[in-house]
Amino acid sequence: MTTLIDLFLHGSLWSLLAVGGTNVTLADIHRYAVDTRHWITDAQFVTFFSLAQAAPGPNGMAVTLIGLQAAGLPGAFTATLAKCAPSSLLAYLVGGWVDRHEHSPWVRAVRAGLAPITVGLLAASSALLAREVDINVARGLVTLVAVVITLRTRWNPLWLIAAGSLLGLTGWLM
């Protein structure tokens, strides 16, 4: 029961902090689920994140898999509810007001303030995933090349994902 309450409280917090998407909270999800609670390992975290990204639907469903590992089906349900309900409720309650006051200085200030926070949280999540995945020079180089290409070109990221997958399938990234 304690694990379910814990999943709900922390999942709700992640839901409300996920301005810009679930990926901005990955570093804290990892810290809590792997380092603090030991519900999953580093390898499981990366696997769950990858599965959630590859599967259709919301990309935050890695928390469902974490909940499943932590407390079985009740944990999966609780984590999913906590991840979806608070932010959905907040969007429903506040969304109309924000739309009506879109040009107010307060709304513009909040949006301007959330942008650098979102970028910083995404950078932390990216660094965490790179640390867990780039376990050798070849993988580190692939990550570095992908970042450079992303920043310097307008290539669709799916091409980079396909190239990385092909390198992995051929055994170059073992």
How do the pLDDT tens digits run along the chain, 174 residues long? Answer: 789 999 999 999 999 888 777 888 888 999 999 999 999 999 899 889 888 888 887 778 899 999 999 999 999 999 999 999 999 999 899 888 888 998 999 989 988 998 888 888 888 888 877 887 777 888 888 888 998 999 999 998 889 888 988 988 898 887
Residues in the chain: 174
Output the pTM of the full model: 0.74
* b/e code 104-113 from CB counts within 10 Å (16+ = b): eeeeeeeeee
Please report, for the chain, the start and end positions of each structural domain, with discontinuous segments joined by +: 1-101, 105-170
Distances from the Cα of 48 to the Cαs of 6, 61, 75, 79, 141, in angstroms?
Answer: 19, 8, 15, 14, 23
For 67, the 3-state DSSP assignment is helix
Q: How far apart are CA 6 and CA 23, in angstroms?
A: 20
Is residue 160 within 8 A of residue 143, CB to CB? The reply is: no
